[in-house]
Amino acid sequence: MSISQAIENIETRYTHQPEFVQAVKEVAMTIAPLYDAHPEYSTSKIFERLVEPDRIIGFRINWEDDKGEIQVNRGWRVQFSNALGPYKGGIRFHPTVTPSVLKFLGFEQIFKNALTGLPLGGGKGGSDFDPKGKTDNEIRRFCYAFMRELHPYVDKDVDVPAGDIGVGSREISYMFAMYKNLTHEYGGVLTGKGVGFGGSLMRTEATGYGAVYFLENMLDAQDDNIKGKKVLISGAGNVALHAAEKATMLGAIVVTVSDSQGVLYDKEGFNQEKIDWIKAQKSEDKPLADYVSVHGGEWFDKQKPWQFQADIAIPAATQNEVNEDDAKLMVDNGVKYVVEGANMPLTADAIDCIREHRVHYAPGKAANAGGVAVSGLEMSQNSVRQYQTSEQIDTRLKEIMKNIHDSAADASEQYGQTDDGYIDYMAGANMVGFKRVADALVAYGILN
């Protein structure tokens, strides 16, 4: 069966899972040159095997709210592929979580994790639980109940979850506590733990910082640099605010952040004091719009950041947040680099639009891999029970992001996808990640 037939099958079988189909098509359409060079992938049916997860575990979560009323949510863990290591990937708590969303995230995670060069398989989990407006006690009861259901299926050598949208250090601590309580095991079953109890320094910062390190490598490849560049960032969560922080440290001017309520524009740029204010405000679940009365700038209700002039865009909120019209706005506003902090933030049409205009484009699999990379380093530190300094982890993170950049750029060149200096990072990253997993599967034979 050819790849195009395999895509048709996926589209027919999973019409009700549009995000998953979108993620599969993106990979399928870029790996043809690699497939042509490796006929063993066709005979081993690697693509057909990789688009079906090893398994999906689904469960019900009963928990009690502050009024004593019983609430019921749905939860899943998609164990996609453990070809290269234990299943690894975040847990998302958001009302938009569905099997389709978790399957797209888990599928992308396989190749992202392969790109890091660390021994990590791919998976993803989550729940349609909405943390907004919940008290700390309710969050705790929900996290305990979620881990009560999940714990038989995860283990430090089997499946190692971490955070994602709606899951940060507070939620990881509660889930870790429940796992420890049920299993009596003090280990590395989750990453993103508190630094005082097994967490790695720099894990919190790693995704956003890593995305900016990737950007620096892209700029370098074009003989350019980040100093004085205007940057648009969407989102005001873990990834967005740490990307803003690192870009600012390196001399860029970040003029927007946003959330589900709208966009904040500050033409002076967000300095560290302003970023710290935003972090505190968001961690207390308070409105981003309050910024204007404290620091100035402008708030645009229910709008996105792409209407402003800038050199660089870092979408770091959620999937499909940038549609074709948004992409056109970016192009018209002078954006020359798009770096995906979020997973699949651009629709397929948006990707086509910016690539047609030769905007340099780093897909999430490559650009946001810094988070899971430091998760991998957390696992190693847990295994040897020795911890590294922030400087050591930061140096490793920079190396890993440079390796991902260079290997994607080399593959783009090797397979004829680089056009007059325009590097196809999407094709390059997909081929490098896919090849590492495919070679392992071929070596294993029919199992896996």
Residues 330-359 that bind ligand NDP (CB under 6 A): 341-343
How many residues bind ligand NDP (CB under 6 A)? The answer is 23
- The region of 85-93, 246-254, 296-304, 423-431 touching ligand 2IT under the rule CB under 6 A is 85-93
d(CA 255, CA 267): 5
Q: Does 365 bind ligand 2IT (CB under 6 A)?
A: no
CA angle 246, 250, 251 (to 5 degrees): 120
Question: Rule CB under 6 A: is residue 79 a binding residue for ligand 2IT?
Answer: no
Nearer to ligand NDP among residue 24 and residue 438 (C-beta): 24
C-alpha to C-alpha distance for 443 and 423, rounded to whole angstroms = 31
CB 241 → ligand 2IT: shortest distance, Å? 15
In DSSP terms, which residues pair with 167 in a beta bridge? 164
By the rule CB under 6 A, 371 interacts with ligand 2IT: yes
Which candidate, 106, 179, 192, 115, places its Cα nearest to that of 402? Answer: 115
Could you tell me which of 335, 344, 337 has the C-alpha nearest to residue 317?
A: 344
Q: Is 124 a catalytic residue?
A: yes
Q: Which does 26 bind (CB under 5 to 8 A by kind): ligand NDP, ligand 2IT, none?
A: none
207 part of the interface to ligand NDP, by CB under 6 A? yes
Choosing from 90, 188, 198, 305, the residue that interacts with ligand 2IT (CB under 6 A) is 90
Q: Which one of the listed residues 124, 274, 304, 336 is annotated catalytic?
A: 124
By a kind-dependent CB cut-off of 5 to 8 A, residue 191 interacts, out of ligand 2IT, ligand NDP, none, with ligand 2IT
On whether the CB atoms of residues 206 and 282 are closer than 8 A, the answer is no
Q: What is the C-alpha end-to-end distance of the chain, expressed in Å?
A: 19
Among 89, 198, 235, 341, which residue sits at the site for ligand 2IT (rule: CB under 6 A)? 89
Binding track, positions 60-99, relative to ligand NDP; x by CB under 6 A: ------------------------------------x---
**CB-side neighbour CA atoms (13 Å) of 269:** 19
Percent helix, strand and coil across the chain, each to the nearest 5: 50, 15, 30
Task: Let me know if 364 is exposed, middle or buried by CB neighbors in 10 A (0-12, 13-18, 19+).
Answer: buried
Binders of ligand NDP among residues 366 to 425 (CB under 6 A) are 368, 371
Contact (CB, 8 A) for 43 and 24: no
* β 122-127/70-81 pair status: antiparallel
Contact region for ligand 2IT (CB under 6 A) — 168-176, 250-258, 289-297, 371-379?
A: 371-379
User: How far, CA to CA in Å, does 165 sit from each of 179, 354, 424?
Assistant: 21, 26, 28
Tokens 């967000």 identify what position?
A: 270
Interaction partner, residue 305 (ligand NDP, ligand 2IT, none; CB < 5-8 Å by kind): none
Q: Among residues 260, 309, 392, 395, which is the contact residue for ligand NDP, using CB under 6 A?
A: 260
236 makes contact with ligand NDP (CB under 6 A): yes
**Which residues have a catalytic role annotated?**
124
Q: Which residues make up the interface to ligand 2IT (CB under 6 A)? A: 88-90, 112, 162, 164, 191, 343, 371-372, 375
